[in-house]
Structures are given as structure tokens and as C-alpha cells.
Amino acid sequence: MKRFAMVWAGQLVSVIGSALTAFVLGVWVYLGTGSVTQFVLIQFCAVLPGILLAPYAGAFADRYDRKKIMLFADTGAGVVTVFLLVAVSTDSLAVWQIYVASALTATLNSFHIIAYQALVPSLVPPKHLGRINGFMQITQGVQIAAPLVAGALLGLVGLRGVLVIDIVTMVFAVGALLAARLPVVTGDGAKGGGRDGIGAGLKWLRGAPGLFTLCVVFGVWNFLFAIAGGLVQPLILSFSGPATLGVLMAAGGSGLFIGGLVMGAWGGPKRRVQGIYLGLGLGGVFLVLHSLAPSPWLIGIAAPAFLFTLPLMNTCCVTLLQTKVDPAVLGRVLAVVRMISTAAMPIAFLLIGPLSDGVAEPLMAADGALASTVGALIGTGDGRGIALIFLVVGVLMFALTAFAWSRPRLRAVDDLPDPVAAAPERTLQ
């Protein structure tokens, strides 16, 4: 537990620095270009590489020392930030460089997160995995709350100063990893590349149908979440200003942060799948609440409540995988799960603009086709088309909950046997 605490603290500090940089770079692009499309492309570049390269990341996590993979990823991310700092210092920073940096960082992060999740079961006893995975969710809350701090830092130290802070946090994370004596877990070698990684991971999952169904459910959930997540800022800005946006984004991050603390203390229900069902159902309720009125107070309640469900679901899902998957193939299974569960997110990002501007907003205009029906419930005018999308996404979340509950194998996923393979060899370094 002490070894995990050291690694976790280092990674948490590093995530803070990375989140600050991501926010200020997005602000720099938007203010410099005035283009929403160029701004959204940063998110696209930050998601796609992780999906495409996940099989290779899984194969590496099962073949090589996971600590060294994390060290390489953290160091590589620091090098990318150094290049950005040089570009800023020489007044040569360009938008395309930010796209490339986002893609490189996402690539490294894909290798990092899979190695990290695969390493955790060898650091802590199984009975504590739920609590540990809950604490790991706190990093997401920090990422969402970062804009409030980053906005202040941008005014105080500028873009260059934020990049320097990011580099310092990277050094801290690498130092924590080097100082921690972590176990080296030897699997079956994973000698194949990305294609073999997909094959081995899929083969294992298909032999545990409940877990495969869980991956599909999370894939649909991530698609719906990406749509809502991409539109929440425009929804808020449709009835308030940037200052209110920063406060509400921080409030949403507090929901994630508190959820992580709760899961860290609790660990989740004994039957993990019940936590997933609960998170799906409550998520639908809170997404619908986003749509009911153009009110900062309503969003200030609904957004943190919705994001509170993320640590619950993610903790239960990751713990199920860590306790039910053979350690020898855990990295490749996690990689396939990552691919399946996030594959539709880039599609969601590409759909957001046309769906909102071309379809939903005209429908909810004062003289739109739905003004006298749905408009009587959620209102009409600017931003109410986005509210309509939140309403539809919330209803689809209810449908997903019903589908998940109707799958007998998913309901029984906690009853799958724990891995029967011999315990992996461990050495400390």
C-alpha cells in the first residue's frame, strides 16, 4: 500500500500539470483562431491515437516491465512539453504543433494507463482493489477542475509559466516511480504485436461473455458521455458568461473528486455489477436534469451529481477486470476493453457540431418544429437545441440501463471464477 501511495501521489501531481497545459493550449488555439472546429480537433487528436494504439500498449504491458513503460511514457510526455516550451519561448508556436503534441501525448498516455492499471493488482491485496481504484478516479476530477486554476495561472505566469509547471510535475512523477520498489510481474511473454494483442485479448473476453457485454455497454455509455461532455460548455455559455462557466466546470470536477474519495473509502458494492447499474440509471436522471431549464443553479447541481457516478462505474468495472482476468493477459485484455469502450468517442466529437447547429437548434427555435411540444417542457431559443440533445441522451441512458439489466450473463459477471493460473513471479526493483 505504501508503494502504491508513492506512485499514486506522483501520478496525481503529474496529471494536474498535464491538465493545466491542456486547458491553456486549448484557450490559446481558440483565442488565436476563433474557430470551434480547430479547438475541437485538439480533443480529436487527444483521443484517436489511444484507440488505435491500445493493442500495442496491451502487448507491451504483458511483455515488458510495467514500471519501465510508465517511466518511458512520463519522460516522453515531459520531452513533448519541453518542445512546446521552446516553441513558445522562441515565439514560433503554431496550431499544428499543438495537434502533434496532443497526439504524441495521447499515444504515450495509452501505454501509461494500461501499464498502470495492469500493475495495480500486484501492488495491493485483492480486498483493497476497489478502494484503490476509487482513489485513482480522483485524477479525473482534478482534470475537470483544472480550468479554474489554469485560468488564474494563465494571467499570472502566462503560457510559458504553465508549461514550466507541467515539466516540474513530470519530474516529480518520474522521481516517485524511480524511488518506489515495484514488483516485476512476468506473464506469458506477449511476443506478438498489436494484432496478436487484439487476438489474445478478444479471445479471453469471448470466453467470459459477461465481461464482453460489459465492454459493449461501456462503449455505448462513452459515446453518450462524449456527446454530453462536448456540449456542456456550449450549453452553459448559452445562458451565462465565461466566469460562470469556470465556476460550474470546477463544480463538476468536485463531483468527480468527491466520488473518487467516496469510492476510495468504500470500495464499491460487493457485487460490482450493481454499482454499474446504479451509475447508469442515475446518470440518465442527471443528464435529463441538465435540459430542463437554462439555469446555472440547475447545472451546478446536475453536473457534479452526474460526474459523481463516473468513479462509481469506473471503479466497479476496472476492479472486475483486475480480479477476473488472468494476470498473464491482463494488459492485452485492458487494451481491448479500452478500444471497444472508446472506439465511438471520435465519432461523437465529429457529430456534435452538425447535430447541434444543423438539427437540434433549428428544431428548438421559437418557431421550430418542436417549439410547441418539447419546447413547452424545456423552453425555446438559443441553447435549447443543446438542451434537447441532453434530454435525448438521458433517455438513451435509461434505455442502455434496461438493456444491461436484461443481459443474464452481465448480471452474473461477479460470479465468474477468479483466475486459476499460477500466481505470477514477482521481484522488486
Written as tens digits, the pLDDT of the chain (429 aa) is: 788 888 889 998 898 889 889 888 887 887 788 765 677 788 888 888 888 888 889 888 888 888 999 999 999 999 999 999 999 999 999 999 999 999 999 999 999 999 999 888 888 888 888 888 888 887 776 776 666 677 777 778 888 999 999 999 999 999 999 998 887 754 555 454 445 557 778 888 888 889 999 999 999 999 999 899 888 878 888 888 767 877 887 788 788 889 988 998 999 999 999 999 999 999 999 999 999 999 999 999 999 999 999 999 999 999 999 999 988 888 889 988 988 888 888 888 788 878 888 899 999 999 999 999 999 999 999 899 999 999 999 999 999 999 999 999 999 999 998 874 334 444 445
pLDDT at 428: 47
pLDDT at 422: 36
Instruction: Count other C-beta atoms under 10 Å from residue 295's C-beta.
Output: 12
Element (H, E) at 324: helix 296-324
Domain segments of the chain: what residues? 2-177+197-417
The fold for domain 2-177+197-417 equals Growth Hormone; Chain: A; (1.20.1250)
Helix, strand, or coil (residue 182): coil
Task: Tell me if 106 sits within 8 A of 46, measured CB to CB.
Answer: yes
Instruction: Please report, in angstroms and rounded to a whole number, the separation of the first and last CA atoms in the chain.
Output: 16
Question: Minimal CA–CA distance to 39: which of 52, 17, 20, 23?
Answer: 23
* Strand ranges in 219-333 using DSSP code E only, listed in sequence order: none
Quote the CA–CA distance of 355 and 369 in Å, as a whole number.
Answer: 15
> Which residues sit opposite 226 in a β-bridge?
none
pLDDT at 195: 52
DSSP per-residue letters across 102-170 = HHHHHHHHHHHHHHHHHHGGGTS-GGGHHHHHHHHTHHHHHHHHHHHHHHHHHHHHHHHHHHHHHHHHH
Q: Under 8 Å CB-to-CB from 423, ≥6 apart: which residues?
A: 327
pLDDT at 237: 81
> Which residues sit opposite 184 in a β-bridge?
427
Quote the CA–CA distance of 265 and 253 in Å, as a whole number.
Answer: 19
Give the up-direction half-sphere exposure of residue 403: CA atoms within 13 A in the CB hemisphere.
Answer: 13
Question: Minimal CA–CA distance to 43: which of 201, 253, 226?
Answer: 226
Measure the CA dihedral 178/8/84/246, to 10°.
-160
Give the up-direction half-sphere exposure of residue 177: CA atoms within 13 A in the CB hemisphere.
Answer: 25
Q: Under 8 Å CB-to-CB from 153, ≥6 apart: which residues?
A: 20, 24, 161, 162, 165
pLDDT at 44: 82
Task: Tell me if 300 sits within 8 A of 248, measured CB to CB.
Answer: yes
Task: Tell me if 25 sits within 8 A of 33, measured CB to CB.
Answer: no
Q: Record the pTM.
A: 0.81
Q: Is the dihedral of CA 406, 409, 415, 419 positive or negative?
A: negative
pLDDT at 185: 56
From the number of C-beta atoms within 10 Å of its C-beta (0-12, 13-18, 19+), residue 408 rates as exposed
pLDDT at 155: 75
